[in-house]
Structure 1
Amino acid sequence: MSYSDLCTDLQTHYDPHTKQCVSCDMTWIKPGFEFVPNCGYADNGGRRDSHIQKCANNSWNDGKNGKCQMCSACPTGAQTVRHCNATVDTQCCRFGENGDPTRVDNRMEIVIPGVAIIILLACVMVGALTYFIYKRKNKSRQGLIADGNGKVAFLSQRDGQEWKAVLTPQVSAAPLRMVLDDLDVLEELIILLDPEGNGVKCTRHLASYCSFPSTWINYTYSMRVSKSPLKTLLEGVTTKHPEWTVGDLARLLGEMGRTDAIVVLAKLRPSVHAV
C-alpha cells in the first residue's frame, strides 16, 4: 500500500513546497514502531494516516530504523537467551568446549570468557529492578469519588498532584476538547495509552476511572482496528462532561502513574486554539 504516486520509496513522502520526495522525520519513530507508507502523507501534503505503526509479529525495531526488522533465529547448537519482541532482537548463547559461554548476537559471535554466572546474576538484577519500579508505580490504593459538578476525583495514599508541576495553568484550564483538536498530541497519547499488557495502566483503565461500563470499554477495544479507543473515550467524555478541562484528564493520568502521558499534554498550546 502506498499513499503517494510520486515517491516509490515508502520511507519518503512528497513535499509540495519543495516539489521533491523527502525522508520521513526520524523523531517520530519510537521503539517497537515503524513508518507507515509515505509517512502517512498524500502527494498534496494532507495526512492520510498516522506517521507510524506497530511492528508486525516476528519483527522488531529499537527506534534507530524507519522500518522494523525480521527477528533472527538462533543458529544450530545455540540456546535462546531472550526471545525477540517488538523492541529487541533474539539473543542467543552457546557453550564452548571449555564450558565458557559464547554469546551469539545477530549471528555474530562474541566470546565472553568465564562469565556465565555474571550473565545470570545480571539478568536477575534487571528483573528485580523492573519489578521494584512497577510496584512503586502501583502501590497506591485508589478510590473514586464525584464532586458536586459530576467531575471524577481520587482518594489515594499519595496526593497525585505531580501533573501540576508539568502543566502550565493555561494548559490545565483549557477545555478537554483541545486534546482532540491537536492531532499530533492526540497521536502521541494514542501510542502511549492504547496498547495493553505492558505492565502499565492504559486507555481501558482510564475509561473505567471515567465511569464507563465494562461492556462499553470491551466494545470500544473490539473496534480499535478502525478507531482508537482513546479517541472514542475522549469524544465520550467531552460529550458527557463538556465542562472538563485538560487538568481533569491530567489528574486521572497522574493517579494512574502515567506521567509520560502528562508530559505529552504539556505540548498543547492554548493560545493557538483560542477563538
Structure 2
Amino acid sequence: MLPSRDISRLIEIMAALRAPVGGCPWDVEQDFKSIAPYTIEEAYEVADAIARSDLDDLREELGDLLLQVVYHARMAEEAGEFSFGDVVEGITKKMIRRHPHVFGDTEARSAGMAKGMWEKIKAEEKAEKRAARLARGLDPEDNGKGYLDGVPLAFPALTRALKLQEKAARVGFDWGDATPILDKIEEEIAELRVAISARDQAATEDEFGDVLFALVNFARHLKIDPEAALSGTNDKFRTRFHLVEAALRAQGRSLQDATLEEMEEEWQRAKAVR
C-alpha cells in the first residue's frame, strides 16, 4: 500500500490495521476508551507545535490528530453506528447551517449574521436532537445529563473548572463581583490548614482542590484565563531555571553540585533578567 494525499487511503490503512485477520494486534484490541487519551495527547501536540511556530511539526501533528478521528470513526463503523463519511457530513451540515450569511441564499448573504441568529440556529439543532431521541423511543427531554454535564470531563482541570463556573453563571449562580471571592479563597486556605494539621491526606487533597477552584473563580471575575496564566508562569519558571543552570555551568558546576542557597542566589539574578 502506497502513501497518498487522498483521505480514502488513510481510511483504508486504518481498516487494514483493525482487520481481525492480518491486522495489527495492538490496533485490533483498542476501543474508544483506550484510544481517547491518545486523542487528547495529539491535540496538545498540535497546540504545542503552534506555540513553537514550528510549521513542519504542525503538519505532522495535524496528521496524527486526523488519524485519531479516522480511528474512532473506524471503530464506530465496525459497531454499526456511523462511518467517517457520516462524521464529515455532520460537520459540513453544521458549518453550512451556522453560517447562513456565507452559504445561504442571496437574501441571507446580503443580510449578514443577524442578531439572535446564532441562538436560533442552536435552538433548531437542539430540537432536531430531541426529535431524533423521540424517533429512537427515548425520552426527548431526558438524555441522562444535568445542566453542567455538557462540560467535557477530558478538559484540563483548570479549564473545566472555568467552564463549569461560566455555565453556572449563565443561570445566575455566581458572585456579584470579585471582591468577596478573596474572602472565600482565604476561607478555603484556612480549611486547608486545618486538614494539614490533622494529617488527613484525603481532606487535604479535597481542600486543596477547593482552593484551586476558588482561585479559578477569582481569575474568571478578573477576566483572566487561568490555564493561560499558569502556562505563562510555567514558561517563566522554566526560563529562569534554565538561567540558573546556565550560570552554574559557566562556573564549571552542575545543578546537582550546587546547594539550595547557591541556586537561590542565581535564581534571584535570573528574576532580574526575566
TM score, norm. by length of structure 1: 0.24
Higher strand fraction: Structure 1 or Structure 2? 1
Bigger radius of gyration: 2
TM score, norm. by length of structure 2: 0.24
